[in-house]
Amino acid sequence: MIYDKGKIFAGLAIFVGLVASPFWYNPVFGTGSAAPPEVQLPAAPAKCVLPRDEMRASHMQVIYDWREKVVRDGARTYPHPDGEDRPMSLSNTCLGCHEGKKKFCDTCHEYLAVQPFCWDCHFDPKEHV
């Protein structure tokens, strides 16, 4: 025997409905999902230090790895498979090709709501010329 059965189950239904709103809001109101970002790729994507899929999945590990190697071990050059070694540098190598922080990095990071702290210290050289 449950007292106020009707009120309790109605309240529960409303609660579950509200909590589940992220799952039904878009289909019901037809708003659709946010458009995936259109990332501007550099003119010569083949020159990147790793294939595109690998970079997409693990660029943060690559950058962390570079950081340790440069700062702790003093090893500054990345042996690129194309034979043309490059300095391991976020500001100078990555952004040397890519269209800058705002046009490249931020596009995805904002879409995914991640806030890497690279830019607390490092610069986008193009913004300071």
Collapsing DSSP states into helix, strand and coil, what is residue 78?
A: strand
61 binds another protein (CB under 8 A): no
Min dist CB 102 to another protein, Å, is: 14
Among the residue ranges 11-19, 22-30, 65-73, 78-86, the one whose residues contact another protein (CB under 8 A):
65-73
Q: What is the DSSP string of 85-97?
A: -EE--IIIIIHHH
115 binds another protein (CB under 8 A): no
Q: For residues 91 and 107, which CB has a smaller minimum distance to another protein in the complex? A: 91
Min dist CB 69 to another protein, Å, is: 12
CB 87 within 8 A of CB 93: yes
122 binds another protein (CB under 8 A): yes
Candidates 88, 64, 93, 84; CA nearest to 76 is 88
